A and B are shown apart, each in its own frame.
Chain A
Amino acid sequence: MFTHSIRRRLVIGSAALTATALALAGCGRSSDSPDAGSQATTTVSQGPATGNLTVWAMGTEGENLPKLMEQFKQANPGVNVTVTPIPWDAAHSKFTTAITANTLPDAAMVGTTWMGEFADLGALDPTPQGFDNSGFYPGALDTTKVGGTQYGVPWYVETRLVFYRKDLAAKAGFSTPPTDWDGLKAMAKAMKDKAGAKYGINLQPGGTGSWQTVMPFAWSAGANITGDDEKSFTFDTPEMQEGLKYYQSFFTDKLAGTDLPPNQTEAQFVNGQVPMFISGPWMAGSVAKAGGDAIKPNIGVFQLPKNKTATSFVGGSDFVVFKSSKNKDSAWKLVKWLSDAKTQASWFKMSSDLPAVKSAWQDPSIASDPLLPVFGKQLDDAKAPPAIVNWEQIAAQFDTEVEKMTKAGQSPADTAKAIQTKATQIGAGGS
């Protein structure tokens, strides 16, 4: 019912909405336009949080957050928190219209790829002093930084690993997972030749979101999306080409297929047709749902293989306070409480969202899990694209060019060049 393409249409549509609204208003929204309290909060006062706070959170997080808020209210008896859950499908539209009409809540969970846009619209309050930023995973912390200023904090994280069928890997002669690029390739080949798989590994042949799987290889080869200024693009480099070439080689060697039906990753993993894929922590649950208890002991994960580095993608969500909030001091207290290691661990138990705070991973509920510690290790080397306003548009072009490369045999050099040209045409955006 709500497919990826519809979601994308909504996102693109809402971007158009905002643009139109700004045009109709006759003036761009300057960074200090929200009327209430345009002064940035620099420090958070001592003492408990008070007053009313409204908070937006998406999907399951929005459903579960009220439970966590009970604990916050116990610690801060004078505060009243109202959580509004927002559907993921159109959350971006909801935020952009709310920014335009100045009907934002005090604080909210925000997708990491939206940070650049919202900060550019002048909606976010810069993070005050007194946060222990070194406690966060560095890749996650980077998602809160736009043009050198930090907005909000990372709240929860996810990263991508290689999932594999342990039983079939043993059959293919890989009792220990590979650690470098050649090893991953050899393993995919052995899965196909010796373990009876149709394809060795399930890689997305382009299309929406495929950059999240392709970019880790490019990053591992030393590529970057932008220069240090976060304005000019560096897609057309030998490093980027190397990453693209490696990705393409899985398709040219028939180790990954372009003819697989979409949304069947779990099913094909369970029936052994395609016994490897690269994805995030939620897939462990999805695979278990599709395959039942029998599959659980056979789910294995390992870190992305190494070239120059072994870098993965970091996603998740940040927690921000909006400039327009009339109760910013208490809102920041809430954010601070949320990024406390103890809160992060109890939030994991409620939501199974992985903590952005490193020390929370020592909680036994995470440390004793068979798969999760591997994600924790990968998070030490995980990156997100820079927080540039037009990222979603550029990512869409990236996905299209990757599709041409995997399906129509466009060369990695031409692909890199095409992405660079299109990204430069679109521009990083922002003021």
Chain B
Amino acid sequence: MRRTWWIYLIGVLGLVAVAAPFLWMVLGSFKTQGELLRVPPTWWPQDATTQNYDDLFSKASFPRYFVNSALVALVVTAGNLTFCSMIGYALAKLRFKGRNALFIVVMATLMIPGMVTFVPLFVLVTNAGLANSYPGLILPFLVSPFGVFLMRQFFLGLPDDLMDAGRVDGSGELGIFARIMLPLTRPALATLGILTFLGSWNNFLWPLVIAQTEDKYTLPVALALYSTGQNAQNYGLLMAGAVVVVLPVLVMFLAFQRHVTKGIAITGLK
């Protein structure tokens, strides 16, 4: 009995540490700038206002930014789930000449920091005529070396016997991959999906640089545009914007989280 008491205490403390900033953000989005800067700070908005949200949604193009962000994040996530699992499977389970060399190339690209390839990538995409277009926002991120690595490692852990059984029963290679092996990687796919979606949804610098007109801006870029001035910041608007940006991520996580925990159970059985 005593033991559980401790565990609960630690759990509650952890929850407070994790949830407090988040709660502060949500409550702060209903405060005026004056109240946000007040000393000592207030927890509960004393004169609650929806002004920040009104300001945010009154920006004419707000739905546009949202659609841009969602479109880019969803396509990038779908692309990663498809291509990373395919490449990862090939590198882990199929025997072909140069497989290891190919894997080393993938790993090498993983080692180079994104900052170094940023400008060359930008020049490349611009020269391909894709500046200020959705393909320009999406294509460079459609498959990631990290995703390939993650999927390959996961496929390595699956027994070859499953593939042999499929072959014996007369399934084609694509069928083995799609119907037998891929469903078993659901936990890895869930992890990859969450990470990719988060990364793409929060990506700031690339969409900022590649979008040449406002109608191609994504949420983080628009949020930075409207909340941060040269010398002063609109904290209320920033909080409200952050709440709106975070919500879909939260929904996404709740949707995938079931699979992650389920996946942990499966891998535990193995």
Contacts and interface: CB of A to CB of B under 8 A. Distances in A.
Q: Which 6 A-B pairs give the minimum distances between C-beta atoms?
A: A21-B119, A87-B224, A87-B225, A89-B224, A101-B123, A267-B39
Interface stretch (B10-18, B87-95, B230-238): B230-238
Contact of B123 (A100, A263, A264, A285): A100
B268 interface: no
Contact of A2 (B33, B118, B213, B228): B228
Given A87-B221, A88-B230, A90-B208, A101 B122 contact: yes
Given A93-B205, A266-B37, A271-B39, A88 B229 contact: yes
Contact of B231 (A18, A158, A263, A291): A158
A94 B33 CA distance: 29
A280 interface: yes
Given A93-B209, A97-B209, 15 more contacts: A21-B123, A87-B208, A87-B221, A87-B224, A100-B123, A102-B126, A103-B212, A264-B37, A264-B39, A268-B39, A271-B39, A282-B231, A285-B232, A290-B34, A317-B230
A27 interface: no
| Range of interface residues on B (Cβ < 8 Å) | 35 or more
Interface in B180-214: 204-205, 208-209, 212-214
Interface string A312-332: 000001000000000000000
B168 interface: no
Contacts, number: 109
A271 B34 CA distance: 12
Contact of A267 (B37, B204, B214, B232): B37
A87 B228 contact: yes
A85 B227 CA distance: 13
A292 to B, nearest CB: 7
Interface string B25-42: 000000011100111000
Contacts of A62: 225
Interface residues of A, number: 51
Nearest to B245: A1
The A interface, classified by DSSP as helix, strand, loop or mixed, is helix
Contacts of B37: 263-264, 266-267, 290
Nearest to B238: A1
A415 B119 CA distance: 37
Contact of B131 (A16, A85, A103): A103
A211 to B, nearest CB: 15
A263 B39 CA distance: 11
Interface of A: 1-2, 10, 13, 16-18, 20-21, 24, 54, 58-60, 62-63, 82, 84-90, 93-94, 97-98, 100-103, 111, 158, 261, 263-264, 266-268, 271, 280, 282-283, 285-286, 289-292, 317
B118 A17 contact: yes
Given A24-B120, A103-B126, A268-B39, A94 B225 contact: no
Contacts of B74: none
Nearest to B39: A267
Contact of B208 (A94, A100, A111): A94
Interface in B213-269: 213-214, 221, 224-233, 238, 242
Contact of A13 (B115, B224, B226): B115
A26 B32 CA distance: 52
B33 A289 contact: yes
Contacts of A13: 115
B205 to A, nearest CB: 6
Contacts of A59: 225, 228-230
5 contacts: A85-B214, A87-B208, A87-B224, A100-B122, A285-B232
Contacts of B118: 17, 97
A86 B212 CA distance: 9
